[in-house]
Amino acid sequence: MRRTTAACTTVLLALVSAACATSGRPQTQQAATDAPATLSFWSTGGDDETAIFQKAADLYHQQHPNVTIKVQTLSWDDAYAKLLAAATSRSGPDVISGGMTWTIQFGARGAMVDLREHGLDSLKAQAQPAQWESAVSPDGSVYGVPLDMSTLALYYRTDLLEQAGLDAPPKTWEELTAAIGKLKAAGVAKPYSQDWGNLDWIGYFNYLYQAGGTFYTPDCKPSLDTPQAERALAYWVDLYREHGAPTASVEASDALDTGTALVVGGNWIAKGMDVNKPKLKGKWAMTTLPAGPAGPTTFIGGRAIGVTSFSRHAKTGADFVRFMYSDEAIAAIVEEARKRNLPYIPPRPDKVVAASSFTPEQAQVFEQAFSTGKAAPGCPGWDESAPDVSKQLQSAILGKADVRTALAEAAKVMRANAG
Amino acid sequence: MAIPLRGRLRRYGTSYAMLLPFLALFAAFLIWPLANSLYLSFTTFDGINPATFTGLDNFRRLTADDRFLHAIGNTSLYVVASVLLGTLLSLGLALAFDGPGWSHRIMRTVFFLPSVTSSIALMLMWKWVLFPSDVGLANTIVSWFGGGAVAWLATPGLTIPILVLMSVWGGMGYGMILYVAGLGSIPREYYEAAEIDGASAWRRFRHITLPLLRPVTTYVVVTGLIGAFQVFEAVYIVFRGTNSVGGVLDSGLMIVPYLYDQGFTHFKLGYASAIAWVLFLIIFVLSLVNLRLGRAMKEL
């Protein structure tokens, strides 16, 4: 028995020491820049989105015949884990796209190329300022740049608003609550709901900035324990507790279809509404979110694109990323997106109306939102804090904590994670 | 007298050689990852940079991590409820449908189906059933009885009951099949003898069926326990929010989804490995206790 135990211990120790002998990270040797190259671009999204980005890749190939770029789909559900596996094994894609903060997180661990080395910080002049800031690391490294933009809009049922005697959608917080009251009085059972960001920090984000608050100060100090943050949360909580906004998230198009009069939803909803909900055709419209006491800020999201540090073709990859900001690449992507009825808003604000796949009227609403838009904080510790912040917001909405306590708790977690 | 090494090799060499492919795969895909994960649990490995050894830090942090403790609490509640209900219902179904007739076979097939269906597909189905507003199946049924739309997935108090319901519904068919096999192995003579002695149906069940099904019960409980502790898809697919795996107020946060979140969303693979080893120890100890209890009861 003793011999068996000793043998088992020895084997285990040997295995553990072998496991400990993990080697360091080797530098990736770069291929000659003029040699024929095939680059792999892992694009997070659907197959249709892969197809639209492949159009830009094909155009790049036409201009650089010795470079071929193959775009592959990563579904949102498992993209992050697959990219982490690729980064761990230092093999896989040359170019990646995904959530706005992903490239920062991979970059901070040495898995992405700092695109400043290839002069891509010059793209800042073309990008939406807040979205650019959100894509840049706190130390200034540019591990990824925005690939597209997304935002929120207020969708509304024109017939139900008319029924309630409202001739225009609400433009301010006061008008929103007044409109909800009128809709209720007119017999509309579901006056208001929120799709993207319901019970979540993204939903609160809009009210916070509209009240003049922020998650962090410009030097990344948590700033949720402020009167502005309290005012925003009190108003948001009232929308649920006083005005009956549902805590369950229903996609904006389904909500409108089942009789909700005013719905806050993502820009992509506008693209598919007439196809997915033909009965709603002519009965819905959209506008920007109601403005708060400090103005009309709206959340900006989107995807970031960057080059992996284990790519043998970093220079070509960076050149392709730059190419994605060119007029011709955007035109090729938009043309294909229109053919496939896909939502696509380029990362350049000057192109939102001129070259997005939306109708000019819809694009104008988004352009207005982007002009005052803010993006997610890129401060250290935000990703770790976000679930706890949402939990505190939920506590306030569900009546488990008062507004001030919930925000103080959220700020405490953010401070602890800020390091 | 021991056979010399040479003799042993001659005698068993071919057998060992034939075992080699299995042993190589076993070592590469089980022993090696296990050892690696044990080592990583003592480091701050982020998945990309070389691991830094930090001793027991990860385990110490776990004891003060509110979300992990919350996940343990949620998981314990879920395990007790789902294993208890699942076992009782499996036995009930087996007693109801253990006959050789077609109707019983069809019913057994119907209840067994969820066990062989892809769990992802099942969870997507549940998501549709629990869909909020009045378009989901559950709310449609509630509306038939005049009820208003229920926020099934956004009401913290409903999260664990829903997860238990999903687990029991999906797993009771498998337990039923095991119990049916167990029932089939009980000699009919015992029942005949008991009947002649005038034992009631309840007494026959209490004193013949239940004791003789003890090995099956132990198996159903132990495998149910292991499965329930490792619940993942149900939480990840049905209750995942925009940025959190635990649903509203973390009401559905369980150990494995939290492990996944820490390891694969926040790059804390060392910390996630520590969670995995704590989970292993919990399951190991509970399984031992269960097996020992099963044996002790048999000896009574």
Does the distance separating the beta carbons of B248 and A247 come in below 8 Å?
A: yes
Largest CA distance in chain B: 83
Question: Of all residues in chain A, what percent carry a pLDDT higher than 70?
Answer: 93
User: Which B positions 161-220 lie with beta carbon below 8 A of chain A?
Assistant: none
Integer Cα distance of A168 and A158 in angstroms: 9
pLDDT average, residue stretch A173-197: 96
Instruction: State whether residue B86 is helix, strand or coil.
Output: helix
Per the structure block, which two tokens stand in for A262?
């005013």
Most confident segment among A7-16, A287-296, B144-153, B196-205: A287-296
For residue B116, the enclosing domain spans: 56-298
* ipTM summary value: 0.82
Is the model's pLDDT at A7 over the cut of 80?
A: no
From A17-26, B159-168, B185-194, the region with the lowest mean pLDDT: A17-26
Residues in B touching A106 (Cβ below 8 Å): 48
User: Which B positions 127-146 lie with beta carbon below 8 A of chain A?
Assistant: 131-135
Of residues B161, B158, B162, B163, the one with CA closest to residue B232 = B163
Is the model's pLDDT at A1 over the cut of 90?
A: no
Q: Which amino acid is at B4?
A: P
Integer Cα distance of A136 and B39 in angstroms: 34
**Model confidence at B239, in pLDDT bands (50, 70, 90)?**
confident
Element (H, E) at A44: strand A37-44
Is the model's pLDDT at B285 over the cut of 90?
A: yes
Is B15 within the bounds of a domain? no
* Among chain A residues, CA nearest to B249: A391
Integer Cα distance of A211 and A231 in angstroms: 7
Does the distance separating the beta carbons of A111 and B264 come in below 8 Å?
A: no
Is the model's pLDDT at A357 over the cut of 50?
A: yes
Pick the more confident residue, B47 or B82.
B82
* Rounded to 5°, angle at Cα A231 from A99 and A301: 15
- DSSP designation for B2: P
State the pLDDT at residue B300.
46
Does the distance separating the beta carbons of A20 and B135 come in below 8 Å?
A: no
Integer Cα distance of A298 and A210 in angstroms: 8
**Full set of structural domains in chain A with CATH:** 37-149+301-371 (3.40.190.10), 151-299+377-418 (3.40.190.10)
- The mean of the pLDDT values for chain B is 90
B79-94 pLDDT, tens digit each: 999 999 999 999 999 9
Testing the interface with A: which of B128, B153, B249 to mutate, by most A Cβ within 10 A? B249
From A22-36, A64-78, A209-223, B54-68, the region with the lowest mean pLDDT: A22-36
Q: How far is B49 from chain A (nearest CA, A)?
A: 7
- Please write down the HEC assignment for all residues of B159-216: HHHHHHHHHHHHHHHHHHHHHHHHHHCCCHHHHHHHHHCCCCHHHHHHHHHHHHCHHH
Q: Which amino acid is at B264?
A: F
Q: Hunting for tokens 């799709």 — which residue is that?
A: A195
Is the model's pLDDT at B115 over the cut of 70?
A: yes
Of A25, A248, A388, the CB nearest to B133: A248
State the pLDDT at residue B299.
53
H helices of A186-225, where?
A: 201-210
Integer Cα distance of A112 and A310 in angstroms: 8
Per the structure block, which two tokens stand in for B170?
């999906």
Of A19, A111, A202, the CB nearest to B242: A202
Does the distance separating the beta carbons of A254 and B243 come in below 8 Å?
A: no
Integer Cα distance of A214 and A230 in angstroms: 11
CA separation (Å) from A55 to A41, A74, A105, B161? 13, 17, 28, 49
State the pLDDT at residue A5.
43
Give the contacts of B26 (CB within 8 A, at least 6 positions apart): none
Integer Cα distance of B240 and A318 in angstroms: 35
Please give the distance of CA B106 from its chain centroid, rounded to a whole number. Answer: 26
Give the contacts of B171 (CB within 8 A, at least 6 positions apart): B82, B86, B90, B114, B115, B224, B227
Does the distance separating the beta carbons of B151 and A247 come in below 8 Å?
A: yes
Is the model's pLDDT at A217 over the cut of 60?
A: yes
Number of domains observed in the structure of chain B: 1
Instruction: State whether residue B233 is helix, strand or coil.
Output: helix
Is B35 within the bounds of a domain? no
Is the model's pLDDT at B107 over the cut of 80?
A: yes
Testing the interface with B: which of A12, A23, A84, A200 to mutate, by most B Cβ within 10 A? A84
Is B44 within the bounds of a domain? no
pLDDT average, residue stretch B159-175: 95
Is B5 within the bounds of a domain? no
Does the distance separating the beta carbons of B243 and A250 come in below 8 Å?
A: no
- DSSP designation for A292: B
A9-60 pLDDT, tens digit each: 444 444 444 444 444 455 677 877 677 899 999 999 999 999 999 999 999 9
Integer Cα distance of B213 and B182 in angstroms: 6
Integer Cα distance of A27 and A344 in angstroms: 36
Q: How many CA atoms lie within 13 A of B275 on its CB side?
A: 26
A69-78 pLDDT, tens digit each: 999 999 988 8
A78-111 pLDDT, tens digit each: 898 899 899 988 899 999 999 988 999 899 889 9
State the pLDDT at residue B243.
64
CB contact, 8 Å: B32 with chain A?
A: yes
Q: How far is A321 from chain B (nearest CA, A)?
A: 23
Is B138 within the bounds of a domain? yes
Does the distance separating the beta carbons of A23 and B244 come in below 8 Å?
A: no
**Model confidence at B298, in pLDDT bands (50, 70, 90)?**
low
Is B166 within the bounds of a domain? yes
- The mean of the pLDDT values for chain A is 91
From A394-408, B31-45, B56-70, B127-141, the region with the lowest mean pLDDT: B127-141
Instruction: State whether residue B34 is helix, strand or coil.
Output: helix
pLDDT average, residue stretch A185-198: 94
* Among chain B residues, CA nearest to A76: B242
Q: How far is A395 from chain B (nearest CA, A)?
A: 7
CB contact, 8 Å: A22 with chain B?
A: yes
CATH assignment at residue B293: 1.10.3720.10
Query: What CA dihedral angle connects A70, A76, A78 and A84, to 10 degrees?
Result: 70
From A170-179, B130-139, B216-225, the region with the lowest mean pLDDT: B130-139
Is the model's pLDDT at A380 over the cut of 70?
A: yes
Q: How far is A38 from chain B (nearest CA, A)?
A: 24
CB contact, 8 Å: B50 with chain A?
A: yes
Is B219 within the bounds of a domain? yes
Is the model's pLDDT at B246 over the cut of 90?
A: no
Residues in A touching B151 (Cβ below 8 Å): 246-248
A191-210 burial string, b = 16+ CB within 10 Å, else e? bbbbbbbbbbbbbbbbbbbb
Q: For residue B247, count other CB atoms closer than 10 A to its CB.
A: 25
